[in-house]
Amino acid sequence: MPFRLLIPLGLLCALLPQHHGAPGPDGSAPDPAHYRERVKAMFYHAYDSYLENAFPFDELRPLTCDGHDTWGSFSLTLIDALDTLLILGNVSEFQRVVEVLQDSVDFDIDVNASVFETNIRAFQTPTGMPYGTVNLLHGVNPGETPVTCTAGIGTFIVEFATLSSLTGDPVFEDVARVALMRLWESRSDIGLVGNHIDVLTGKWVAQDAGIGAGVDSYFEYLVKGAILLQDKKLMAMFLEYNKAIRNYTRFDDWYLWVQMYKGTVSMPVFQSLEAYWPGLQSLIGDIDNAMRTFLNYYTVWKQFGGLPEFYNIPQGYTVEKREGYPLRPELIESAMYLYRATGDPTLLELGRDAVESIEKISKVECGFATIKDLRDHKLDNRMESFFLAETVKYLYLLFDPTNFIHNNGSTFDAVITPYGECILGAGGYIFNTEAHPIDPAALHCCQRLKEEQWEVEDLMREFYSLKRSRSKFQKNTVSSGPWEPPARPGTLFSPENHDQARERKPAKQKVPLLSCPSQPFTSKLALLGQVFLDSS
């Protein structure tokens, strides 16, 4: 072992406590219940610290116990933490915070915001690819650079297709699809895309091709968009990219950066943002390759107690000025997906190591601080919002196998809409790139057609006031075709009239049941994720 590795390894061994709940002599896995409670405590330590010291700023500064704005000055950490509250089972706090945000957050402000980070607007370009930054009040600034990263162009289809379904306005999904297609048409002859492109000319400015920073969520959204929308074309696009990525960038189950036109290695580094890839592989059923790559990344975690932003693969060490770990979620995300697919206890061990490392190294009086340098564990005065949105959430879900998010379709909620009965909560949730879950059924159940301007908010209020009634999912209730509303819109039934309304229906009238993307493949998604790869 090189001498330079002895210091961080020795320091880590000295700092980290003994693992309570770690595998014993019989090889048993870490106790999920124990670590689930530890993760919940981590969340509330960070969440309470933000509320007490940083709200309404975007993020908490944990070393000075105050706040600052980062991505747009709209209480980003609180927004990002919302659905984590639900996953932890704290419905009352979720409802309270929703009311607080409705009263306090205003998006019509004179602030320059990242289009990628806020996912709002700015697609009016000759290529249909969006600018990287937009002013929320005035639009694109006259002097705005036209150079945008690939991920900043290709990470819209999940949210924008959802928005189109809920509003009845197709423009959101349309512009997202145009952006995806322009990137697809801009790939090189060997099937790769670069890192940054000029959205006015369509010329590649940075020609490094890989799966990490600047590109990552473009590939992620091709897969998740395909699953959410049951779009075989999006999946086919990803599978073509996947072939090129394996042919030109994969070496010994690591993924390097190469020149997009020639395929020659440009950067032999692993970036921490690339750790999402094994999880994405699991969603298309490529479990063996996913596990091999995951284990490579896990060795880096064990070396430092976290993933450095850049790791030089040939040298086996950090890259200068890229030694930090801002408490990113990607490796934990992959562990969560792979554990659902395999049940391999090694994945729980990563979760255990993450809890122990983050608590020992990063925890301070006012939250959890970014690790500025993994070599000596110096801290930085920032807790990014994704810590509560993603890192803690994926950790909790890794240790909570019965969480509603993991529903395999065996249970569901039935709700009456103007168009008939809908099924919600049957599983198959799709996480966006900030780990916010979308129920595919809700896209269809809550669809608001322009001709029928019924209120989605009213529907959801009715739904949450219903006594949650779970029942076994019957296979024969699933239709293979898309759900279409009946000709007559009808009226929204109140919860107390739910049973009466069902009894009043004519005997021969059949209420069309929702056939949504989650149900036909939800079991496969939960196990292997083979959505479009077989003929069943």
Q: Is 204 left (phi over 0), alpha (psi -120 to 50) or beta?
A: beta
Tell me which residue of 400, 302, 418, 416 sits closest to 19, measured CA to CA. 302
Task: Report the pLDDT value the prediction gives residue 102, as an integer from 0 to 100.
Answer: 87
Q: What percent of the chain has pLDDT over 90?
A: 63
Task: Report the pLDDT value the prediction gives residue 168, as an integer from 0 to 100.
Answer: 84
Tell me which residue of 243, 214, 240, 238 sits closest to 224, measured CA to CA. 238
Task: Kindly tell me if the per-residue pLDDT of 389 is higher than 80.
Answer: yes
Mean pLDDT, rounded, for 267-283: 98
Query: Which range among 73-77, 180-184, 514-518 shows the weakest confidence by mean pLDDT?
Result: 514-518
List active site positions: 117, 216, 309, 330
Residue 410 token pair: 């065996």
Residue 279 token pair: 């999880």
Q: Rounded to an integer, what distance in angstroms lies between the CA atom of residue 415 and that of residue 432?
A: 25
C-alpha separations of 94 from 101, 216, 389, 424, 504 in Å: 11, 30, 13, 19, 36
pLDDT, tens digit, for every residue of 139-175?
A: 888 888 999 999 999 999 999 999 898 888 899 999 9
Mean pLDDT, rounded, for 348-369: 98
Tell me which residue of 192, 177, 182, 183 sits closest to 225, measured CA to CA. 177
Task: Report the pLDDT value the prediction gives residue 47, as an integer from 0 to 100.
Answer: 98
DSSP 325: B
In this prediction the pTM is: 0.79
pLDDT, tens digit, for every residue of 184-210?
A: 999 999 999 999 999 999 999 999 999
pLDDT, tens digit, for every residue of 412-465?
A: 888 887 667 788 889 999 999 999 999 988 887 766 543 344 454 455 555 555
Render 3-66 in DSSP notation, one character per residue: HHHHHHHHHHHHHSPP-TT---TT-PPP-HHHHHHHHHHHHHHHHHHHHHHTTTSSEEETTTTE
Task: Report the pLDDT value the prediction gives residue 112, as an integer from 0 to 100.
Answer: 66
Mean pLDDT, rounded, for 374-398: 97
Task: Report the pLDDT value the prediction gives residue 448, as an integer from 0 to 100.
Answer: 52
Residue with tokens 């009238």: 509
Q: Rounded to an integer, what distance in angstroms lies between the CA atom of residue 452 and that of residue 518?
A: 25
Render 156-184 in DSSP notation, one character per residue: -HHHHHHHHHHHS-THHHHHHHHHHHHHH
pLDDT, tens digit, for every residue of 407-427?
A: 988 888 888 876 677 888 899
Mean pLDDT, rounded, for 30-44: 97
Mean pLDDT, rounded, for 381-395: 98
Task: Kindly tell me if the per-residue pLDDT of 513 is higher than 70.
Answer: no
Q: Amino acid letter at 267?
A: M
Average pLDDT, the chain: 81
Task: Report the pLDDT value the prediction gives residue 442, as an integer from 0 to 100.
Answer: 82
Residue 419 token pair: 């168009």
Mean pLDDT, rounded, for 490-519: 32
